[in-house]
Amino acid sequence: MTGQSCVLLKYGELTLKGRNRGRFEKHLLRNVERTVSRPDGERVRIQRRQGVLVLRSALPERELLDRARDVIGISVVQPAVPVPRTPDDVAAAAVRLVRERGLEGRFAVRARRRTKDFPLTSEELAAHVGDRVRRELGWPVDLDHPEVEILVEVDWREVFVSVERYRGQGGLPVGASGRALVLLSGGFDSPVAAYRAMRRGLRCDFVHFTGAPFTGPSSTYKAYAHVRELDRFQGGSRLHVIPIGAAQRRLAGAGAGEAQTVAHRRLMLRTADALARECGAQALVTGDSLGQVASQTLSNLATVERSSDLPLLRPLLAWDKDEIIAEARRIGTADIARLPDEDCCSLLTPPHPATRTTHERLAAVERRAGVDDLVPELLAKSQLFALGNADGPNATDGAADTGTILTSAATDTAGG
Ligand code: ATP
Ligand code: MG
């Protein structure tokens, strides 16, 4: 085992879900493989134990730990040293480990056995290790409020000794709740909404609408950068990019007027609905937050959601902007959101956007604009970017880092 980093992952909420457990574990294991082992990187070995996954790799411990801490569905991430199954080896390893980590102070040993075929009970083992630490280092025992906690876990072929544990992402394993399509802009809200959807077990595909040909590629760069960050939490992400500028003009030409932004939202949602059905997503996700901007009044949210029959999930509906930004900072998308871009939403924005709209009025605008034909045209122009380890149709390993376009129905010129 020497030269190998070892990290234990403990399941969170998963343990509560009696009958679904097997299915959840399957998703979790696959996600760990996808997110922890990089296609071009150092191999990570994953072993499955009762309620625990054991990762071993030649990667530096810090790196392995950082990757493991991104896995959704894991509640505790614990670096560990595997040692032979004898009480003396365990005690020696504990002393070595606290010295190595420069720890000091009142301590407690917590021992547990995942298998009972061990010469000592958990209490006896904890006492044995505690004696040794007290003798060699002279620290006092404090079982209630220790400064140093030594964790000992007896396993089948070895014993794991740890002195640190970190909180994981928590939540349900990605995929356990199904698949969703996220409407992703370059802003703060939708990436956070995507992350929260993943945390409830939804594997997320992404769609971004650009104002092309009337805007440049900056918003696509931002959306792609967001997906790269979010991919740490699920692996194998796919981003569809659809140029919607010309269609927006058609809505304006059909007299959308002050309801232009709402008409545009409805078109995005309608197109996303059709795309979701193609990629097997059972729900749509947006970063809407009630009342944040004119297009997010209750009236406008209601008018917009009439344009899709799929469940429309809005994980941030009741979040304040500062809460959203704090979460964006935590998951690593805030700096991307801050970059300037040309958003398709600012094309044709009316000077006084309507805060109250009706489905009937918007439906009339859409008939005049010929929306039924617009949707298939938009889908035909969509481009797919797949990040490493993507599975499913059109996916190829390792495409991510080059930003390979895998399909391009519009031009037929894409490489990939
Ligand atoms: P965000 O910070 O996510 O851009 P926002 O506060 O700017 O959100 P809006 O611009 O009103 O809010 O957009 C509401 C939601 O509509 C977004 O959270 C996102 O889900 C979706 N959306 C907006 N613009 C786009 C786009 N260009 N492509 C895909 N989805 C979009
Ligand atoms: Mg926006």
Average pLDDT, the chain: 90
- 57 is a domain residue: yes
* Residue identifier of the C-alpha nearest atom 10 of ligand 1: 345
pLDDT digits (tens, 9 = 90+) for 73-94: 999 999 999 999 999 999 999 9
Question: Are residue 341 and residue 195 in the same domain, yes or no?
Answer: yes
Q: What is the mean pLDDT of residues 135-162?
A: 96
Question: Are residue 335 and residue 365 in the same domain, yes or no?
Answer: yes
Question: Are residue 150 and residue 189 in the same domain, yes or no?
Answer: no
Q: What is the mean pLDDT of residues 318-327?
A: 98
Neighbours of 89 (CB within 10 A): 14
| Pair of tokens at residue 393 | 């149709």
The residue among 282, 287, 276 whose CA lies nearest residue 314 is 287
Question: Are residue 68 and residue 103 in the same domain, yes or no?
Answer: yes
- 172 is a domain residue: no
Residue 398 pLDDT greater than 50, yes or no = no
151 in a known ligand binding site = no
| Residue ending a domain, choose from 116, 141, 167 | 167
Percentage of the residues of the chain whose pLDDT score is greater than 90? 79
Is residue 290 within 8 Å of 304, Cβ to Cβ? no
128 in a known ligand binding site = no
Question: Are residue 159 and residue 268 in the same domain, yes or no?
Answer: no
State the pLDDT at residue 174: 96
* Residue identifier of the C-alpha nearest atom 14 of ligand 1: 288
Question: Are residue 115 and residue 195 in the same domain, yes or no?
Answer: no
Ligand 1 centre to CA of 89 (Å) is 57
Q: Distance of alpha carbon 160 from its chain centroid, rounded?
A: 29
Is residue 342 within 8 Å of 308, Cβ to Cβ? no
What CATH code is carried by the domain that includes residue 367? 3.40.50.620
Residue 408 pLDDT level (bands cut at 50, 70, 90):
very low
Residue 53 pLDDT greater than 80, yes or no = yes
Residue 67 pLDDT greater than 70, yes or no = yes
**Ligand 1 residue neighbourhood (C-beta within 6 Å):** 183-185, 187-190, 208-209, 268, 286-288, 292-293, 295-296, 343-345
Neighbours of 1 (CB within 10 A): 11
DSSP for 383-404, written as a single string: EEEE-TT--STT--TT-GGGT-
pLDDT digits (tens, 9 = 90+) for 168-196: 999 999 999 999 999 999 999 999 999 99
* 1 DSSP 8-state letter: -
| Pair of tokens at residue 275 | 């795309």
Domain count, the chain: 2
pLDDT digits (tens, 9 = 90+) for 372-396: 999 999 999 999 999 875 543 333 3
Is residue 284 within 8 Å of 183, Cβ to Cβ? yes
Closest atom of ligand 1 to 186 CA is: 4
Ligand 1 centre to CA of 188 (Å) is 9
What CATH code is carried by the domain that includes residue 51? 3.30.2130.30
Question: Are residue 141 and residue 187 in the same domain, yes or no?
Answer: no
Domain containing 358 equals 179-386
For a mutational test of ligand 1's pocket, the pick from 181, 182, 183, 329, i.e. the residue with the most ligand atoms closer than 8 A to its C-beta, is 183
| Residue ending a domain, choose from 116, 137, 167 | 167
Lookup result for tokens 């993943």:
198
